[in-house]
Amino acid sequence: MSAIEEKASAILAPYRDKLARDYTAYQNHVLRVISLGGQLRSKPTAEEEDKLIIAACFHDLGIWTANTFDYLAPSIILAGEYLDKNGLSRWRKEIRLMISEHHKITVFRDERFPLVEIFRRADWIDVSLGGLNFGLEKKTIRGIRNAFPNAGFHKKLLQLTAREFLRNPLRPLPMFKW
């Protein structure tokens, strides 16, 4: 197990029961997003890598912890609590932006926070199964997907989306932003 996998596993461990049978699917999604972000950043610093790990672990977690598809705010709260508990409050704004903007449809533009756009792209690559690649080679994306198999993650997304369409037909995807 790599250091990145160990860090992500340690962060996700307290949520294993909430994630239940979706634990492996979510953990592998997290690891794919971290890996894709690292490829997009090209040699991230240790601090940038830690920020990618933290944001990835928490970015969708509110789906399970708050039982909602409007999960950005609950995910941000969990990340903030983690940052405070671990003496990383100085990263709060950047991690909040990484989570709140990860489903933004258009480019995030703020030179002070380059990881926000990298994280957004990494998540879009994974969610689109590589259909969007933002310049990454297909073999790189395929290698990451092979290292961390889907394990039902996209099936779960489709189930959640269908359920949300029935519950809120006028706002079925509340996490998307322009």
Cβ contacts of residue 2 below 8 Å, gap of 6+? none
The token pair at 39 is 């490829």
pLDDT of residue 172: 66
Position 31 pLDDT exceeds 70: yes
Q: Domain count of the chain?
A: 1
How sure is the predictor about 37, in pLDDT bands with cuts at 50, 70 and 90?
Answer: very high
pLDDT of residue 123: 98
Residue 178 lies inside a defined structural domain of this protein: no
Residue 55 lies inside a defined structural domain of this protein: yes
Tell me what the mean pLDDT of segment 39-61 comes to. Answer: 97
Structural contact between residues 106 and 120, judged by C-beta atoms closer than 8 angstroms: no
Q: Each residue of 119-169: pLDDT tens digit?
A: 999 999 999 999 999 999 999 999 999 999 999 999 998 898 888 888 877
Q: Each residue of 73-128: pLDDT tens digit?
A: 999 999 999 999 999 999 999 999 999 999 999 999 999 999 999 999 999 999 99
Position 178 pLDDT exceeds 80: no
Residue 141 lies inside a defined structural domain of this protein: yes
Residue 175 lies inside a defined structural domain of this protein: no
Residue 176 lies inside a defined structural domain of this protein: no
Among 107, 2, 121, which residue's Cα sits nearest to residue 55? 121
Residue 58 lies inside a defined structural domain of this protein: yes
Residue 86 and residue 1: Cα distance in Å, rounded? 23
How sure is the predictor about 2, in pLDDT bands with cuts at 50, 70 and 90?
Answer: very high
Residue 81 lies inside a defined structural domain of this protein: yes
Position 1 pLDDT exceeds 90: no
Residue 125 lies inside a defined structural domain of this protein: yes
pLDDT of residue 169: 76
Q: Which domain holds residue 30?
A: 3-167
Position 176 pLDDT exceeds 80: no
Q: What is the mean pLDDT of the chain?
A: 95
pLDDT of residue 19: 98
